[in-house]
Amino acid sequence: MRLENSFEVPAPTEAAWGLLMDVPRIIPCMPGAKLDETVDDANWKATMAVKLGPISLSFLTDVKREESDESAHRAKLSARAREARGRGNAQATIESSLTGQNGGTRVDIVTDLALSGAVAQFGRGIVADVASQLVTQFAACLQAQLVATPDEAAAVVEARSRPVSGLRLGLGALWRALRRLLRRE
């Protein structure tokens, strides 16, 4: 499935690009994610914790920078994740592009995501809504990294390190799906 998200950060494009290329610094900005190992300049290992009600999932993830074009401010990452207890897998290609806008930077993210196993049983709408919420939290963390004091930025990153609660995200996604359905009628 293809997911498209955009957000703006109040920082010059060069500063936002520098942060986006610092993968070990931005992995902890993804809610529930933790950097485990820097393999080399283009490969990392991370763990992402997700809590779906009483079920806790832990995804062991290999992240690779596939492409990076500094002059165009475009980057492509790939991620291959497997649930630690064998309950599912995910593969994603994440393409990011940055453009200057109103003194800040617009970040566009296009993700091609494939799920298998138990995690694939969730509907596309729910996955897209949850992804949108994760990107919103990710954007807030990036903003803190770019404009906050080091202590404030560290506090935001620490808050993101907690496992993602699927129940809260799922209820929010369900609410948005119901609102879309009611608007059509």
Distance separating alpha carbons of residues 113 and 91, to the nearest angstrom: 6
pLDDT of residue 4: 81
* Tokens 């109040």 found at: 10
**pLDDT, mean of each 10-residue run, the chain (185 residues):** 83 90 87 92 92 74 96 95 89 92 90 80 62 73 74 68 54 55 62
Q: Measuring CA to CA, how many Å separate 78 from each of 9, 53, 100, 158?
A: 23, 28, 25, 24
Q: Tell me the pLDDT tens digit for each residue of 49-86.
A: 876 556 677 889 999 999 999 999 999 999 999 989 88
Contact of 98 with 9, CB cutoff 8 Å: no
